[in-house]
Chain A
Amino acid sequence: MVILVPLALGLGLLGLLAFLWSLKNGQFDDLEGAAWRAILDDEPLAENEPVERRTSR
């Protein structure tokens, strides 16, 4: 119990932190677009720039 309970809560907390991070990162700004992006072909968008960049202000 001493190990399992903190472990379970810790994992849940990790999930929450991941959610808050992705929200702050602007990943929930365009849910419709994100749904489609998953099934698009992966082609390089621009040679001169990594794609993953913050879009929001």
Chain B
Amino acid sequence: MQATRDFSHYVTDLGAGLQHIDLAVEGVNCAGCMSKIERGLSAMPDVTLARVNLTNRRVALEWKEGTLDPSNFIDRLAELGYKAYPFHAANAETVEAEQSRFLLRCLGVAAFATMNVMMLSVPVWSGNVSDMLPEQRDFFHWLSALIALPAAAYAGRPFFLSAYRALRARGVNMDVPISIGVLLALGMSLVETANHAEHAYFDAAIMLLTFLLVGRYLDQSMRRKTRAVAGNLAALKAETATKFIGGSEIAEVPVAAIDPGDIVLLRPGERCAVDGTVIDGRSEVDQSLITGETVYARAQSGTAVYAGTLNISGTLRIRVRAASNGTLLSEISRLLDNALQARSRYIRLADRASRLYAPLVHVTALLTVLGWVLLGAGWHDAIVAGVAVLIITCPCALGLAIPTVQTVASGAMFRAGVLLNSADAIERVADVDHIIFDKTGTLTLPDLEVVNAAGVPEFVLRRAGELALASNHPAAGAVARAANAKTPLVGASEEPGQGVRGEVGGVEVRLGRPGFCDAEQLAAECATTDGEASLVAFSFGDRKHVFCVRQALRADARTVISELKKRNITFEILSGDREGAVGAVARALGVERWRAGVTPADKIARIEELKRDGYKAMMVGDGLNDAPSLAAAHVSMSPISAAHLSQATADLVFLGKPLAPVITAIDFSRKASHLMRQNLWLAVAYNLFAVPIAIGGLVTPLIAAVAMSGSSLLVMLNALRGRRIADGGMSWK
């Protein structure tokens, strides 16, 4: 039964006989790849557009309707050496792209206005100390107003809207003092211009917006890039299912195109992409991604299976209950909802700072006005001095202090293989003093591995690997990987539930259950040394070997544990797996605190207990059963191989086989958190220096411009230090 691939779900019709598809491509990281792919695809007849996006690692394709099919492009890309997969931009991603364009438009307008207002301001500043006529000055001021007012109305929207939302919710965020400062500066300048005054602050107001928009845009684009890469990885995980069309015909379709009630085929070695019920067939299934339990469960007619289940031995037919985004274990989704509701209580550093800052600044401005009036100055002069205080304190540096550090740190983490799901994750990771590890798939690798390959002769291993390639069984896959086999043995046949057999030079070779290979005695000996491994026997004529196959620890797990100790972070293991399996891992790693057979509710209970004891706990897990505790913990992390829901719930996602990103994330976050605080203090120091001048009524637009750009640059340069973590951390790669 060879299934046809059906990708029509991803194709959009552009009209006029043109069709469009987006493909996520693996391994595009240089200009060479870009032109190779574009030339290779453009050479196909009827292709009208092939354009690589190097930032997102995607290809946009357009072609004339008719002979071509999306699978042709995927095959062509495979010939060129790239693995590609059709891609549907997630809703959130489209929204972020739109947001990012909006910010860039605002930034363009603000930058244009700043440059032109500056062009008009410099003559006024130099004219004020030489021979400028008052009429000329007024003309320049009016021109500045003409540019600055509409520009601020356009480019200030991101701040005004956010401040308005915060005020309506009876809160204060950083955008409130920013908006008040900008609006007052513009308003006062307008009044002053009408009164033929010497000073107007249009340049300061619009420059402030420009600087802040730079910070906003950087922040946004970094997050967008992370999201795009995460989206690609999801697409590259190739989520398809083999669906029955009519009675017996089958086709490989994307999961999104499957509806409840459809019947799908699950072959041995495949991961189920849907939730459903088995209607036909018998097999063993690996539910470890759902429950953490590594012992295979039996599946037969009537058994419920969930997305992420790995089929081991027999072919199953499954009736789909809900496709990609539907029901789960009801218990897990209920716990998850509760945990997510509780989560929003965290208050970000920026908001905490602005809660202190905004009232302080506004009170200072008010006192300045009152002070001047009491000293006998006129109301006009007093108010001008008060507004000057607000302009000079308008948190330009404060508004940049945190986003710039976040941008730099998330960029550095991105390069180290850690993707951020939430914006405030950095601050929360920096607080962590306790880590809860899940075992299966987190401390151990998700794929099975042969642990005793070193003791098997090279040529035997190679034969076993070639034979193993003929089977879909996950344990056979592990043998094939260990042998680094490339070509399957010709003429091998599989006996369901037993193993595979074939012939090499007239000698029979078998790979499978110990009984299938007459190796029970040898297997029994192996079982005594390693009780947790599953055994795969191999017979080559009279020679017999037994491979111990198990989920291996991540290679650097032990180093990570000792690094955690160095950083005074405590840790424990909570796993849904059996006592023996968890205990073995805990002993191997030297972890004293561990619990086995833990249910999702138990995990949450433990997290609540830690919270009461004042710990800031990080949860690292991948299973569906971990999702609620990932949401409940102070901050959470998942490997990229995690179940969908867990990955979406986790604050950070890490790539690759090592566990080291956990430490990387902590180190970068601590450094970033340190820099954020430092930046806030820099902003405070700047204010201590500038505010007295403003209170004294001595601030001219020139001083305001110099002070603002100076402090902003200082904060930005300081943020750049977050790219490196200090020596003495772990060295990677």
Q: Is the CB of A36 within 8 A of B34?
A: yes
Q: Does B115 contact A (CB under 8 A)?
A: yes
- Asked if A30 contacts B49 (CB within 8 A), the reply is no
Contact with A along B34-47 (1 / 0, CB 8 A): 11001100110101
Are A9 and B116 interface neighbours, CB within 8 A?
yes
Q: Are A46 and B47 in contact (CB under 8 A)?
A: yes
Report the minimal beta-carbon distance from A31 to chain B, rounded to whole angstroms. 6
| Cβ–Cβ contact B112 & A15, under 8 A | yes
**For A28, what are the chain B residues with a Cβ–Cβ distance below 8 Å?**
101, 104
Nearest A residue to B101, CB-CB: A23
Interface positions, chain B 29-65, Cβ under 8 Å from A, are: 30-31, 34-35, 38-39, 42-43, 45, 47-56, 60
Interface string of A1-32 (1 = CB under 8 A from B): 00001001100110110011001000011111
Whether B49 pairs with A53 at a CB distance below 8 angstroms is yes
- Interface SS of chain B: helix
**B116 near A12 (CB under 8 angstroms)?**
yes
Chain B residues contacting A20 (CB-CB under 8 Å) are 105, 108
| Chain A residues with CB below 8 A from B35, complex form | 40-41, 43
| Contacting pair A49 B48 (CB below 8 A) | yes
With A16-B112, A46-B50, A49-B48 given, is the CB distance from A29 to B55 under 8 Å? Answer: yes
Cα–Cα distance between A38 and B45 once the two chains are bound (Å): 27
The residue on B at minimum CB distance from A34 is: B54
Q: How far is the CA of A4 from the CA of B414 in the complex (A)?
A: 49
Q: Is B55 in contact with A55, judged by CB distance below 8 angstroms?
A: no
- Interface residue? B360 (CB, 8 A): no
How many angstroms between the C-alpha atoms of A6 and B291 in the bound complex? 71
The chain A residue sitting closest to B60, CB to CB, is: A55
Hey, which chain B residues are within 8 Å of A12, CB to CB?
112, 115-116
Is there contact, CB below 8 Å, between A45 and B38?
Answer: yes
Structural contact, A13 and B39, CB atoms closer than 8 A: no
B353 interfacial contact with A, CB 8 Å: no
Given A33-B52, A33-B55, the answer on whether A16 and B38 have CB atoms closer than 8 Å is: no
Contact B112 A55 (CB under 8 A): no
Chain A residues with Cβ under 8 A from B112's Cβ? 12-13, 15-16, 19
CA distance A12 to B30 in the complex (A): 36
Contacts of B108 in A (CB 8 A): 16, 19-20, 23
The CA of A49 and the CA of B38, in the complex, are separated in Å by: 13
Contacts of A43 on B, CB cut-off 8 Å? 35, 39
Q: Is A45 in contact with B54, judged by CB distance below 8 angstroms?
A: no
A37 to B55, CA, bound (A): 13
Residues of A near B236 (CB, < 8 A) are none
Q: Which residues of chain B come closer than 8 Å to A33, judged between CB atoms?
A: 31, 34, 52-55
Q: How far is the CB of B20 from chain A (nearest CB, A)?
A: 8
Distance of A40 Cα from B30 Cα, bound (Å): 11
**Once the chains bind, are A30 and B53 in contact (CB under 8 Å)?**
yes
B226 → chain A closest CB, angstroms: 14
User: In the assembly, what is the distance between CA of A29 and CA of B224, in Å?
Assistant: 11
Which residues does chain A contribute within 8 Å of B45, judged by CB atoms?
48
Whether B31 and A37, one on each chain, are in contact in the complex, defined by CB atoms closer than 8 angstroms, is: yes
Chain A residues lying within 8 Å of B30, measured Cβ to Cβ, are 36
A30-B48 contact, Cβ under 8 Å, with A12-B116, A20-B105, A36-B34 = no
B143 within 8 A of A: yes
**Contact in complex: B54, A30 (CB < 8 Å):** yes
B109 interface hit (Cβ, 8 Å): yes
Other than A12-B116, A23-B108, A28-B104, give 14 A-B pairs with Cβ distance below 8 A. Answer: A8-B119, A28-B101, A30-B54, A33-B31, A33-B34, A33-B53, A36-B54, A37-B31, A39-B31, A46-B43, A48-B47, A49-B48, A55-B53, A55-B60
Which B residues fall within an 8 A CB radius of A? 30-31, 34-35, 38-39, 42-43, 45, 47-56, 60, 101, 104-105, 108-109, 112, 115-116, 119, 143, 147
